[in-house]
Structure 1
Amino acid sequence: MDATLSEKLVARCARERRGEGSGASYVPGLTQRQIARGVGRMHRFCCARCGGRQIILGSDAELATFLLAHWHPGTCDLNEYFPLTDPAETELIASQLGIAHPRMRDGSPSVLRTGLMVLRKTGDGYAWIALDTLACQLDPARAVPDAMRIVSEYWRRRGVSWQLSRSGGFNDCQVRNLWQLFPHGEYMLTVSPNADDQVQHDALLGECRRCRYRSLREACHAAARSTGRPPGDGVRAALQLLAIRRIVGRLDVPDLLRQPLSGLKITRAARCGCPPNGARNE
């Protein structure tokens, strides 16, 4: 008897190690071609927290979920498009919940996926969190699709926390700001700041502590003048220090640099997250 499309897809996932590995070795449950078939705007970038591998996400909403999870101080690793390679189990869950399971062209059960698996440091160890994204900028009250209800129950039975992110994508100021900070955080994690960077950082922190200026942007320009550098160098220093939480301010504002200095906090040390060795999906 010929294998069903579902069985062929499960075999392909096993052959290509989809959903296996951690950090740089993780293999997403979707190929680039499959992601490109979606209707969203694709985003492609490398992430040091994921071992430096390339991340490809198929929509602004999925990128928003990734950025918010990445910004969490306890996040160590992120695995996108994690496949649930036991259609028989998810089909049974659907039957028990009284809802329809998604089907492939030949009627066999589809292989469901979780949008993002996030490994976070807990008090005495590490724990995985499953995140799925629901784009809802046009309808904030949009009902949870049946497939996500199945995935939620799948993880509940495994003792894994499942969370739903109702995302407005780049309509959210915090998401736009996190995307602006992301490359600066990557630079600080992967390329040790050189002497010129450190001079500009020290100058900016000194200006912030003096609090003679109304906004962070004004402090950036003053720091650049004091070191004989163009204003853009002061702005870059501020974004780098915000990205590593050396300067802490609000992220839900239209312009990060227009924040008043009175509302900012200067911390003693930067955050530098890295995935623990050997951490894997169960």
Structure 2
Amino acid sequence: MAKRKREITDAKIDRFIKEGRGQGTGADYLPWLRVQDVPSTGRSTRGVGWTTGRQHTFLSDLERDYFYALDYADGVTDIREQYPLLPLEETKLIADKLGIAHPKDPKTGVDIVMTTDFVITYNDKEYARTVKPAKELENERILEKFEIERKYWESHQVDWGIVTERDLPYTLIRNVEWIHKEYHNEDVEKLGIFAVQSLERSLAALIQSGTAIAKACLACDEQMGLEAGTALAMFRHFVARRIWSVNMNEKINPSNSANGFHITGAEGLLAKGG
């Protein structure tokens, strides 16, 4: 199989722009870079994002983890990753004024389109955030490129900042990761609304009594004649949809009871289906 050509050319930049990359919002947004475009250990969510309703592209585990925190956060209404700093002439001019070499493709020598890892809409205001391991902030060249990025967003009057692993709430993130794919749960449609509501009531009663999550889920599977694991997936679905609430800042362990469990009263969310 032929290797994918990842080097940047003027023709490739023009093609990306014509494809609409870096344009749109919400479900219609297209990231400038995709996993196959860069020599990286690419990561992507196992399901679509809760906030945007589309599949997201991540180029590192750190980007993916930050995304989980954003996707769960109240007030976040859009998440755009791999956002291009266009037009290219703008970052080239900034680099020239700063006396910094603009990033180029090492093979072709073509100036590349710089990107910001995330542009976030939070409470109707845009924020730009770059995600990097803390140790990389000691690299002088990386800091030079960050300065170009900072100046770009400053000129657009957008709040820009750097996020490292030290800033992330990892207990919350791992909990969100555990429930994330069950936000869209096929069993909701397969079981039907009445069966789902019956399962919800039975499972909630057991969990509220202090029964361990896994034990309560297994009991409901057996009681309703469901395939093993169905109730546990639905538990994750109810929490993801915020029909139920648990303490997301303490590790959710199915072998234990649910910390801070309560019913939010948002039964109408079930109408969204899978």
Q: CA 1:225–1:16 in 2, change beyond 3 Å: closer, same or farther?
A: closer
Paired residue for 2:111? 109
> SS at 2:205's partner residue?
helix
Structure 2 length-normalised TM: 0.75
Q: CA 1:236–1:15 in 2, change beyond 3 Å: closer, same or farther?
A: closer
Paired residue for 1:21? 24
Distance (whole Å) between structure 1 residues aligned to residue 210 and residue 50 of structure 2: 37
Q: Is the 1:6–1:108 Cα contact (8 Å) retained in structure 2?
A: yes
Q: Decide which moves more: 76-85 or 104-113.
A: 104-113
Paired residue for 2:241? 244
Summarize deviations over 1:178-236 as a string: whole Å, max 9, x none.
22211111238x96972332221121222233x343x4334434544554546623322
> SS at 2:119's partner residue?
strand
Q: CA 1:150–1:228 in 2, change beyond 3 Å: closer, same or farther?
A: same
Instruction: Report the CA distance between 1:64 and its aligned residue.
Output: 1.2
Paired residue for 1:145? 143
The percent identity for this pair of structures is 22
Higher RCO structure (Cα 8 Å, ≥6 apart): 1
> SS at 1:257's partner residue?
coil
> SS at 1:29's partner residue?
coil
Instruction: Report the CA distance between 1:173 and its aligned residue.
Output: 4.1
Q: Is the 1:84–1:114 Cα contact (8 Å) retained in structure 2?
A: yes
Paired residue for 1:196? 195
Distance (whole Å) between structure 1 residues aligned to residue 138 and residue 249 of structure 2: 24
Instruction: Report the CA distance between 1:83 and its aligned residue.
Output: 0.9
Q: CA 1:80–1:261 in 2, change beyond 3 Å: closer, same or farther?
A: closer
Task: Kindly tell me the number of residue pairs found equivalent between the two proteins.
Answer: 256
> SS at 1:70's partner residue?
helix
Summarize deviations over 1:146-172 as a string: whole Å, max 9, x none.
32332233223222222322138x994
Confirm whether residue 182 of structure 1 aligns to residue 180 of structure 2. Answer: yes
Q: CA 1:152–1:203 in 2, change beyond 3 Å: closer, same or farther?
A: farther
Distance (whole Å) between structure 2 residues aligned to residue 27 and residue 41 of structure 1: 16
Summarize deviations over 1:31-59 as a string: whole Å, max 9, x none.
44314x21x24336442546644333222
Equivalent positions of 1:52-91 (< 5 A) are: 52-91=53-92
Equivalent positions of 1:186-265 (< 5 A) are: 186-187=184-185, 194=192, 195-209=194-208, 211-213=209-211, 215-224=212-221, 226-227=223-224, 229=226, 232-258=229-255, 260-261=257-258, 263-265=260-262
Paired residue for 1:163? 161
Distance (whole Å) between structure 1 residues aligned to residue 144 and residue 118 of structure 2: 18
Summarize deviations over 1:93-112 as a string: whole Å, max 9, x none.
33455544322346553210
Query: Which of 30, 33, 46 does residue 33 from structure 2 map onto?
Result: 30
> SS at 2:21's partner residue?
coil
Q: Is the 2:184–2:237 Cα contact (8 Å) retained in structure 1?
A: no
Q: Is the 1:140–1:166 Cα contact (8 Å) retained in structure 2?
A: no
RMSD of equivalent CA atoms: 3.5
Q: Is the 1:23–1:49 Cα contact (8 Å) retained in structure 2?
A: no
Q: CA 1:158–1:208 in 2, change beyond 3 Å: closer, same or farther?
A: same
Distance (whole Å) between structure 2 residues aligned to residue 111 and residue 140 of structure 1: 21
Gaps of 5+ in 1: 273-282
Q: Is the 1:177–1:256 Cα contact (8 Å) retained in structure 2?
A: no
Q: CA 1:242–1:46 in 2, change beyond 3 Å: closer, same or farther?
A: closer
Instruction: Report the CA distance between 1:19 and its aligned residue.
Output: 0.9
Gaps of 5+ in 2: 1-7, 270-274
Aligned partner letter, 1:14: I
Aligned partner letter, 2:202: A
